[in-house]
Amino acid sequence: MAFDFKVADLSLAEFGRKEIRLAEHEMPGLMATRAEYGPSQPLKGAKIMGSLHMTVQTAVLIETLVALGAEVRWVSCNIFSTQDHAAAAVVVGPNGTPDNPQGVPVFAWKGETLEEYWWCTEQALTWPDGEGPNMILDDGGDATLLVHKGAEFEKAGAVPDPSTADSEEYAIVLGLLQRSLAADPRKWTTIASRIKGVTEETTTGVLRLYEMQREGKLLFPAINVNDSVTKSKFDNKYGIRHSLPDGIMRGTDVLIGGKVAVVCGYGDVGKGAAEALRGQGARVIVTEIDPINALQAAMDGYQVTVLEDVVETADIFITTTGNFNIITADHMARMKHQAIVGNVGHFDNEIDMAGLARIPGIEKIEIKPQVHEWRFADGHSIIVLSEGRLLNLGNATGHPSFVMSNSFTNQVIAQIELFTKPSEYPIGVYVLPKILDEKVARLHLDALGVKLTTLTKEQAAYIGVDIAGPYKSDHYRY
Ligand code: NAI
């Protein structure tokens, strides 16, 4: 059956399928989920709109959701993160051909413009039968934001006006809403009313959800997947430990050993970033605003100081804060020749790229896609990776399969929870019960040859837990 989609090149599907096959072996959690839930089809009737980096690992997630009965439409949550062969393979599907695609509608390609990005998001939210989506799987909250903003304008009877936007990207969002509301004045409230819930992948998206909940603006229940222990303490940390140096190396081929690297933020992502750079022999300096994280960094052996003190002497600068304006245009102008600047926090505003472009006399030279030399009027230059967007996905291929299996198994379980037990989740933001978190970890032990010790009945009673878990209280921090 013909269906709508937009990807770079369907002839890449065979390569994509081969990599998906290898990834499946590295994603035991997702494959176990297929085996456990496939026969009962808990997601039958679910129409899931997904907005999450369209990579090989995400392909295994998408096909797991389909194996559990869901209908799916997908976009990337970043303009540079799509792996075109993975997108093609998902559209073609395991049994289709490029001439006869039989998979899942995907709207994503590497190197979208911002206009294209938001167009893709709207396409995936617009179900051809007019009856979907009824679930969102989000990463960073852009799909959730579009539905909420659209519904907000509708309820207020207001017309979105792009000229009131405070950024180029928000102007694009307002323009899209203006056009879509002119065509269908009830589009976004209708979509919002059908949605049973959203499962959110990352720290930044979760922050947005709690904010909407606090302000009484949240329109449907949400599961915070990020704060499953088997997500943020694994993907954010061990994932970045792999994919950050991968991105720096693929982008620049620079030797990290001996360099001075600054990591801004020492949360879960910052911890993985600092460890990776130290592992390559860099001398790592951390910046933090939180005294607890700053003390952790110091105890872990890093120098902790302010950016101003090292901006002129360090070689590599990586932002991991989820905050904005961490590296300003003035900072970048003061950096030494060929300093490398990159971000792995969710949005591109950690580094003031707009301010950099406005510096008089500055010249942007493309070395290759997602690697740019910015030459200042005095002749010295810096290298910026992925235009300030997630460099581990823009310059490399994101986190590897095994760690994403942990994150995505949480995603699948969260989708099943919200879709099959709506009465247990009134509008609000939830985390998965610890017993399910432990289950996700358990599914990944065999592959690593881990032998788990079993509590005796007496030991379980002594520490006050069930032999089968959960083993920790909810306030335990790992
Ligand atoms: P987190 O909240 O654990 O860590 C952020 C840290 O930055 C905190 O310790 C905070 O105190 C610190 N911080 C805030 N403002 C700062 C400032 N002005 N200067 C220095 N430090 C500052 O968050 P997490 O989980 O580490 O995530 C960070 C970002 O990375 C989020 O945007 C998240 O969505 C994103 N992320 C990216 C991934 C990737 O693949 N690139 C994977 C997972 C998360």
Write down which residue in 342, 363, 395 finishes a domain. 395
Q: Which domain holds residue 284?
A: 240-395
The answer to whether residue 47 is domain-embedded is: yes
State whether 169 and 266 are in the same domain. no
Q: What total number of domains does the chain contain? A: 2
Give the Cα separation of 287 and 53 in Å (integer): 28
**Co-location of 265 and 154 in the same domain:** no
**Residue 55 C-alpha from the chain's centroid:** 11
Residue 264 sits in the same domain as residue 347 = yes
Q: Is residue 256 situated within a structural domain? A: yes
The pLDDT-based confidence of 132 (bands split at 50, 70, 90) is: confident
Confirm if 177 and 155 have CB atoms less than 8 A apart: no
Judgement on whether residues 20 and 131 belong to the same structural domain of the protein: yes
* The pLDDT of residue 395 is above 70: yes
Distance 346 CA to ligand 1 centre (A): 8
Q: Where is 367: in which H helix or E strand?
A: strand 363-368
CATH number, domain at 303?
3.40.50.720
**Domain contains 337:** yes
Q: Are residues 265 and 386 in the same domain?
A: yes
Ligand 1, atom 3: closest residue by C-alpha: 267
Q: Is residue 467 part of a domain?
A: no
Q: Is residue 227 part of a domain?
A: no
Query: Nearest Cα to 384, choosing from 421, 448, 335, 428?
Result: 335
Same domain, 154 and 259: no
What kind and span of H or E run contains 383?
strand 381-385
Looking at the structure, tell me whether residues 72 and 171 fall in a common domain: yes
Query: Is residue 286 located within the same domain as residue 180?
Result: no
96-125 pLDDT tens trace: 999 999 999 999 999 999 999 999 999 999
Contact assessment for residue 9 and residue 97, using Cβ atoms and an 8 Å cutoff: no
Task: Please report the sign of the dihedral spanned by the C-alpha atoms of residue 181, residue 187, residue 189, residue 191.
Answer: negative
CATH of the domain at 119: 3.40.50.1480
**Mean pLDDT across the chain:** 98
3-state secondary structure 262-314: EEECCCHHHHHHHHHHHHCCCEEEEECCCHHHHHHHHHCCCEECCHHHHCCCC
Whether cis (ω within 30° of 0) applies to the bond prior to 133 is yes
CA 65 – CA 38 distance, rounded (Å): 9
Are 178 and 254 in a shared domain?
no
Residue owning the nearest CA to atom 43 of ligand 1: 236
Percent of the chain with pLDDT over 90: 99
CB contact at 8 A, 124 and 97? no
Statement: residue 2 has pLDDT above 80: no
pLDDT tens per residue across span 20-49: 999 999 999 999 999 999 999 999 999 999
Instruction: Indicate whether 420 belongs to any domain.
Output: no
Which of 362, 395, 428 is where one domain is finished? Answer: 395
Cβ contact 334:311 at 8 Å: yes
204 Cβ inside 6 Å of ligand 1: yes
Residue 436 belongs to a domain: no
pLDDT at 1 over 60: no
Same domain, 193 and 264: no
pLDDT at 290: 98
> What span, in angstroms and rounded, lies between the C-alpha atoms of 357 and 312?
20
Question: Which residue among 378, 395, 412 closes a domain?
Answer: 395
Residue type at position 72: V
Q: In angstroms, rounded to a whole number, what is the distance separating the alpha carbons of residues 35 and 14?
A: 25
In a domain, 128, yes or no: yes
What ligand 1 atom has the least distance to the C-alpha of 202? Answer: 34
d(Cα 243, Cα 195) in Å, to the nearest integer?
33
Residue nearest to atom 14 of ligand 1 (CA): 321
Residue % of the chain over a pLDDT of 70 = 100
Distance in angstroms (rounded) separating the CA atoms of residues 114 and 254:
30
d(CA 259, CA 283): 6
Binding residues for NAD(+): 202-204, 236, 265-272, 288, 293, 323, 392, 399
DSSP 8-state class, residue 100: B
Shared domain for 88 and 38, answered yes or no, is yes
State the pTM of this model.
Answer: 0.97
Task: Give pLDDT tens digits for 311-355.
Answer: 999 999 999 999 999 999 999 999 999 999 999 999 999 999 999
On whether both 195 and 281 belong to a single domain, the answer is no
